[in-house]
Structure 1
């Protein structure tokens, strides 16, 4: 797939002088390889094509990446081709907004006849930011946000593609203004304590592969999340493997379970009964209910899931929604069935909607987990910018799941020992 590079030389808005400013944006596909066959209740894969986006204005630059899982309607929507399409439309829309200020421009991609520069309007406003831009460089980046919002208004671009472009723009604006992304979004004052990073162990074909993955993950963090389907015997095998490796620490909840929509209320209650011995080690159960819960009449078996939530509360376990949690509009409907939600930028559409979802969670007393799709360190670094939105647990393990050869950069953090003596707390690296 062809990369797309667009650039502009523009005159400063309202400036009488001949000052010029340079803007560059670039979309690139990113083929990634997982360290092992990545299997969930949804799909299995060893290779994926993610997308990256780079923004630079007058030498201030930032990049982003989105993880693009196998397509699943309503849950995982968006391909690298969708991201490429948006990058082209975004470039033309930005040209439209810059207007007569453009002194020169170019792109590696030919114009498509289907482009409609006026489609959806220009987005208007200030991009929904909490802080006014001061310099010309900052105003250009806000104009870029307006161009993206104009593209979004058409309704044709999946949230993963919107997240790709938006996060790169906002990371660049954060650097240009010298303030963190949360300050731009007015979401300061979030979680201040240690943040634990879980490593996700995929579903394994046999006990040896499971043990191998457990050893690899636990070498980086003692907090492990396991992909499970509707099979209690597999769950017992997982905990047996953890026992064999000496990874079940008395009095410590270091295990998370991700059912990926595969359970029903009866199995969920039976799961708790059959694994009662191990429940003191379980911190969280993620997305046990179907994706459609609670969004369709056919899936409304809410009473059973509400009882399951209550039972988990009795056991000291929290239930989080993942696939069912897309944008802030989903938060209120999920509250009766879970204690919190997993906010992922690719599903939300970027930083701004993630901030709105966080505010909705805080208003309703729900917890927030930050998660990533399968991706590289760049994808994790984008999420680390808003680390404080979590309530203390995340799974920013993409750089551990993917092979070293496909990493476009190093992680901006390390996994260190926390106050409880367990390894796996995120510690930001100090810029040299």
Structure 2
């Protein structure tokens, strides 16, 4: 059996703006890969990890470069080879997930069953991201999100004025659970003191306070809140290095390079006694579908990528009452 593989870039507008400490986005370009065995077509989507120098264009080029190697193979062998032919990142994610989807369709089974889940994935409470902005703007955005039913809010922070931002969000959505993403901006701060102050506002977790590669800044830090690695953690091989400094990891399939590595990453984190968050980049429902399987065992779920877009794919995930669900 041989494969036919195609890849293309799609542009999806963001609802308003998505703002973090590194800048703002008004759209996201995603890489979509389609793999056919002649009878079935598997689809996968990846969003470039921009802080690692990826673009949708260079991810597309990565896929196109290895097509002559993959197309003569069968589905299982192609997925094995992709793990070695491409580095962890969005290109490998899109290919890997397309091959999982193709294998599932060919077998007449859902991806979750092939991935080893014992039961059909259930709806999950997902965080909704409150973009970085002035405290008053974030307060208004939080109130709007709460009115839409989101009960878990993830705040983007910047290392300056963070307490005021969190306090404003708490005022706008007093019943919501809060987690924060420092996006590597706290390297110059007293992290324990920052965490303690945010704990008084009900924050329950801090994501990536220090720059990736400077994780040892967390050595000896006694944070009253769990600290989760995001930009510092990409593959299962990172877990042993990060375990002394972090309480958990954020698994994103675009970072890990696909569902294959994400499952290994979850297993490694569980073995190390670390908490698990499953997140996503800006993406459509095609992008979060395999992550939804991994998220079934997570402590925190942040799969709001499609909810942040102006529109999603037809028959995408349902976001209602703060939950993400595959039920149509």
CA distance in 1, matches of 2:280, 2:248: 16
Q: Is the counterpart of residue 142 in structure 1 residue 76 in structure 2?
A: yes
The answer for the alignment partner of 1:270 in structure 2 is 193
User: Which ranges in structure 1 are unaligned for 5 or more consecutive residues?
Assistant: 1-11, 13-20, 99-139, 295-299, 417-422
Q: Is the counterpart of residue 81 in structure 1 residue 57 in structure 2?
A: yes
Q: Is the counterpart of residue 301 in structure 1 residue 213 in structure 2?
A: no
The answer for the alignment partner of 2:66 in structure 1 is 90
CA distance in 1, matches of 2:165, 2:272: 37
- SS of 2:221's equivalent? helix
CA distance in 2, matches of 1:211, 1:302: 30
1:209 to 137, 140, 151: 137
Q: Is the counterpart of residue 38 in structure 1 residue 14 in structure 2?
A: no
CA distance in 2, matches of 1:188, 1:288: 32
CA distance in 2, matches of 1:211, 1:268: 24
CA distance in 2, matches of 1:326, 1:267: 26
CA distance in 2, matches of 1:353, 1:338: 20
Q: Is the counterpart of residue 175 in structure 1 residue 82 in structure 2?
A: no
User: How has the CA–CA distance of structure 1 residues 193 and 177 changed in structure 2, closer, same or farther, with 3 Å as cutoff?
Assistant: closer
User: How has the CA–CA distance of structure 1 residues 196 and 320 changed in structure 2, closer, same or farther, with 3 Å as cutoff?
Assistant: same
User: How has the CA–CA distance of structure 1 residues 53 and 193 changed in structure 2, closer, same or farther, with 3 Å as cutoff?
Assistant: closer
The answer for the alignment partner of 1:104 in structure 2 is none
2:182 to 253, 259, 263: 259
Structure 1 residue 265, shift from structure 2 partner: 7.0
1:237 to 157, 162, 165: 165
Alignment of 1:33-112 (within 5 A): 33-69=13-49, 71-72=50-51, 76-95=52-71, 97-98=72-73
User: How has the CA–CA distance of structure 1 residues 365 and 221 changed in structure 2, closer, same or farther, with 3 Å as cutoff?
Assistant: same
User: How has the CA–CA distance of structure 1 residues 164 and 242 changed in structure 2, closer, same or farther, with 3 Å as cutoff?
Assistant: same
- SS of 1:429's equivalent? coil
CA distance in 1, matches of 2:261, 2:249: 14
List 4+ stretches of structure 1 deviating above 4 A: 189-194
- SS of 2:96's equivalent? helix
2:203 to 264, 272, 282: 282
Structure 1 residue 165, shift from structure 2 partner: 0.6
TM-score normalised by L of structure 2:
0.88
Deviation digits for residues 296-352 of structure 1, max 9, x if unmatched? Answer: xxxx3343xx423xx32xxxx322111111111111121122211001111111111
Deviation digits for residues 81-114 of structure 1, max 9, x if unmatched? Answer: 222223322321134x35xxxxxxxxxxxxxxxx
Q: Larger Cα Rg: Structure 1 or Structure 2?
A: 1
CA distance in 2, matches of 1:240, 1:192: 35
2:127 to 172, 191, 198: 198
Q: Is the counterpart of residue 330 in structure 1 residue 241 in structure 2?
A: no
After alignment, is 371-380 or 59-68 more displaced? 59-68
Question: Contact 2:178–2:204 at 8 Å: present in 1 too?
Answer: yes
CA distance in 2, matches of 1:325, 1:35: 28
Structure 1 residue 208, shift from structure 2 partner: 4.6
CA distance in 2, matches of 1:228, 1:82: 29
Question: Contact 2:33–2:94 at 8 Å: present in 1 too?
Answer: yes
CA distance in 1, matches of 2:249, 2:276: 5
CA distance in 1, matches of 2:66, 2:221: 47
Q: What's the Cα RMSD here?
A: 2.6
User: Which ranges in structure 2 are unaligned for 5 or more consecutive residues?
Assistant: none
User: How has the CA–CA distance of structure 1 residues 179 and 94 changed in structure 2, closer, same or farther, with 3 Å as cutoff?
Assistant: same
The answer for the alignment partner of 1:401 in structure 2 is 308
